[in-house]
Amino acid sequence: MTGVFITFEGIEGAGKSTQIQNAYEILSVKNPDNVILTREPGGTEAGEAIRNIMLYATRHKIDGITELFLLFAGRCQHIRDVIRPALSADKIVLCDRFTDATFAYQGGGRGVDIRLISQLQDMVQGELRPDLTFLLDTPVEVGLERIKGRKEPDRFEAETVKFFKRVRNAYLDLAGRFPERVRVINAAQGIEEVKGEIHAVLLSRGLC
Ligand code: Z5A
pLDDT in tens, 4-55: 999 999 999 999 999 999 999 999 998 889 999 999 999 999 999 999 999 9
pLDDT at 172 > cutoff 90 = yes
**pTM of the complete model:** 0.98
Going by C-alpha positions, the residue among 114, 88, 90, 93 that lies closest to residue 103 is 114
Q: Residue 149: what pLDDT?
A: 80
Which atom, in ligand 1's list, is nearest to the CA of 41?
9
Average pLDDT along the chain:
96
Ligand 1 pocket mutation pick from 147, 162, 186 by most atoms within 8 angstroms of CB: 147
Measured in Å, residue 138 CA sits from the centre of ligand 1 at 11
Q: Residue 151: what pLDDT?
A: 74
Q: Is 47 in the pocket of ligand 1 (CB under 6 A)?
A: no
Which domain CATH number covers 15?
Answer: 3.40.50.300
pLDDT at 1 > cutoff 80 = no
Instruction: Express as a percent the part of the chain with pLDDT over 90.
Output: 90
Nearest residue (by CA) to ligand 1, atom 43, is 146
Q: Is 208 exposed, middle or buried (0-12, 13-18, 19+ CB in 10 A)?
A: middle
Q: Residue 58: what pLDDT?
A: 84
Q: Is 40 in the pocket of ligand 1 (CB under 6 A)?
A: yes
Nearest residue (by CA) to ligand 1, atom 6, is 102
Q: Is 146 in the pocket of ligand 1 (CB under 6 A)?
A: yes
Q: Residue 153: what pLDDT?
A: 85
CA distances from 52 to 7, 79, 108, 155, 166 (A): 21, 19, 22, 10, 24
Q: Is 51 in the pocket of ligand 1 (CB under 6 A)?
A: no
Say which residue, 153 or 176, is predicted with more confidence. Answer: 176
**How does residue 155 score in pLDDT terms, banded at 50, 70 and 90?**
very high
Domain that holds residue 140: 4-204
Cα–Cα distance between 170 and 173 in angstroms, integer?
5
Overall number of domains in the chain: 1
96-117: average pLDDT? 98
Say which residue, 93 or 158, is predicted with more confidence. Answer: 93
